[in-house]
Amino acid sequence: MDLISIRDVDKKTIEEILDLAEKKEKVLKPHDLKKTNRVLATLFFEPSTRTKLSFQTAAVRDGLDYIDFLTETSSVKKGESFIDTIKTVMGYSDVLVVRHPKEGSARLAAAVSDKPVVNGGDGGNQHPTQTLIDLYTIRKYKGKIAGLNVTLMGDLKHARTMHSLVYALGMFGAHVTLMSPKGLEMSKETVEEVKKKFNAKVEVKTEFDVSNADVLYVCRIQAERFADPLEAKRVQEQFYISMDNLKGAKNDLIIMHPLPKVNEIAPEIDNSKYAKYFEQAHNGVPVRMAVIDYVLSH
Ligand code: NCD
């Protein structure tokens, strides 16, 4: 199977992957890892730290090898098309992870590839494996997803992490609150889709308020998707969460972030009981091990 959008997978599939990830986490010990010669290819046409490295680590931990396509030193520099690149690399590997700035590119790759394609992020559209990590992390800390109050905060207009996550939270019955700087609201279509499809509770707040939140999920201003870089800088400067802002928050609030964070979270929050974003990043390995295993066998 391919994994391109969170809309491609139903609740049962998600739960199977999360359960598999739990098993993967248990066997993340070197003596349990056996070597095979399957190959994962990472093709990232946009910068990445966590997605690429955790996919590569997941591959190695699960007995696969990986090959890494680097745009700068590839034949893309000679003018080779995206489709030709995919058609070539699918002959070298068993599963492809693709990140690209253009929305729809992973879907296109899946259409031309004989091998499973996993979307590592296509423009502002979708980032389904990040969402699986997010659900896994919430389930790990809270024991459930249904009925939790989850506040999504940041650039809800451009962030693919948020577009995938809001859909999955709706599917799992969480109550979602959206908080964004003015002009960076989530599109009405996305909100309506989640409400209609899952009868989900989605609320919009214009003032910062996390008094009711079980999970605060923050993302950075997606400066690379702004037409005007100065506007991105202006919004970024206004958008900052300090320990002071968390007065009145629930004692067991967890703060999550897909990372990278730029300047939206005060450094003292990193060392507080609330911050779970580095654990969340680490969960990328077992969850992506599960994704690789799952797409290769379905
Ligand atoms: C995110 C992305 O690339 O969309 N990063 C990630 O994969 N963890 C988040 C971001 O860039 O803001």
Tens of pLDDT, residue by residue over 130-150, are: 999 999 999 999 999 999 999
Atom of ligand 1 nearest to the CA of 219: 12
Find the length of the chain.
298
- Residue 238: which pLDDT band, with cuts at 50, 70 and 90? confident
CB neighbour list of residue 239: distance below 8 Å, 6 or more residues apart: 154, 181, 221, 264
Cα 156 to averaged position of ligand 1 atoms, centre (Å): 13
Q: Name the strands in the sheet holding 117-122, side by side, starting at the edge strand that comes first in the sequence.
A: 65-70, 39-44, 95-100, 117-122
Cα 32 to averaged position of ligand 1 atoms, centre (Å): 31
Q: Which letter, b or e, does each residue of 58-68 get, where b requires 16 or more Cβ atoms within 10 Å of its Cβ? A: bbbbbebebee
Half-sphere exposure of 95 (CA within 13 A, CB side): 29
For the chain, the average pLDDT equals 95
Higher-scoring residue by pLDDT: 29, 53: 53
Q: What are phi and psi of 247, to 5 degrees?
A: -60, 130
pLDDT of 246: 97
pLDDT digits (tens, 9 = 90+) for 4-51: 999 999 999 999 999 999 998 887 765 555 555 799 999 999 999 999
Catalytic residues: 50-51, 78, 99, 127
Distance CA 195, CA 173 (A): 11
pTM: 0.92
From 45, 130, 217, 287, mutation site for ligand 1 pocket: most ligand atoms within 8 A of C-beta:
130
